[in-house]
Amino acid sequence: MRADLERVKILAESWKPEQVLSWAFATYGDDVAVATGLGVEGMALLDIASRVNPDLKVFTGDTEFLFSETYDLMDRVEERYGIKIERLYSELTPEDQERLYGKALWARDPDECCSLRKVEPLRRKLATLDAWVTGVRRDQTSERQSIRKVDWDYKFNLVKISPLADWTARDVYQYMQAHQIPELSLYNLGYTSIGCKPCTALPLDPNDPRSGRWAGQKVECGIHIPAAPSAN
C-alpha cells in the first residue's frame, strides 16, 4: 500500500482537484472524510468534493469559540449540499478549560489552547480513518510550502490529501464566484483568515492574509505543521 502511495504521490501532482478527489473516494471509500474550517478554501473544496461524491463525509472542528457567522454558515452548507457536518469537540467544555487553565488561555498560551480544542479532537477523529482531505494551499504559509496533493501524514499516521495544494488565492476566489458558493460574511468586513473569535482580527499585514490570527503570535494552530518521519 505504501509503495502504491509513493507512485500516486508523484502522479497526483499533475492531477486536477477533481481527479485527486475521484482517486481518494475510489481508493478509501467510507474511510476518507473531508475536513473544512468553512473558510474560502474549505468551501471551494467542499463544493468540488460534493460534485465528485454527493455522499461524502464532512467534519469540522468546533472549538465552541467560533463566530456566530461561522455557525450560521454551517447551517447553510448542510442545507445546500444535503449533508450533515460532523462537529469535533474538545473533551473539555469552555468552562472546564477555564477552571483548569484559567481565563483566556488563548491569550496566554495559544499553542496549548489550540492543542486542547483543535488538534486533539482532530487526532481522535483521524484515528478512525485511513485518509483525510484538506483545503490547504502551499502559498498560505511557509510551513505549508512542501505540502503535496497526496502524501503520508506523519503527524496523524494516515494519508493526507490536499487537492488545492497548487491553487492560488485567485484560483479559489474565481471558483467561488463562478459557482456562487456561500462564504462567511466576515470577509466583507475585511477579515482574510477566520478561526476562533478571540484569536481572529483584521490582518496586521495586508500582504499576509493570515496575519490577523493569534494576535501576530503565530500563523498555524498546529494541525498542518508537518511532522518528521519516525526513526523507528
Give the SS3 label for residue 42.
helix
Average pLDDT rounded to a whole number, residues 120-147: 91
Find cell 505540502 and name the residue: 147
Instruction: Tell me if 49 sits within 8 A of 56, measured CB to CB.
Output: yes
E-state strands within 50-105: 58-61, 86-88
Q: Angle at which helices 40-52 and 68-81 pack, to 10 degrees?
A: 10
Give the side-chain half-sphere CA count within 13 A for 50.
20
What are φ and ψ of residue 198, in 5° steps? -65, -20
| pTM of the predicted protein model | 0.89
How many beta carbons lie within 10 A of that of residue 36, not counting itself?
22
Percent of the chain exceeding pLDDT 70 equals 93
Q: Where are the domains of the chain?
A: 2-216
Burial class for 127, CB neighbours closer than 10 Å (0-12, 13-18, 19+): exposed
Q: What would the pLDDT profile of 171-227 be if each residue is shown by its tens digit?
A: 999 999 999 999 999 999 998 889 999 999 888 787 777 778 877 776 666 576 666
Q: Which of 114, 196, 199, 221 is catalytic?
A: 221
Give the SS3 label for residue 199.
helix
Measured CA to CA, the distance from residue 111 to residue 95 in angstroms comes to 19
The answer to whether residue 114 is catalytic is no
Q: Give CATH for domain 2-216.
A: 3.40.50.620
Q: Is the dihedral of CA 183, 188, 192, 198 positive or negative?
A: negative
150 beta partners: 161
Average pLDDT rounded to a whole number, residues 2-8: 81
Instruction: Tell me if 25 sits within 8 A of 56, measured CB to CB.
Output: yes
71-75, 142-146, 158-162, 192-196: lowest mean pLDDT where? 142-146
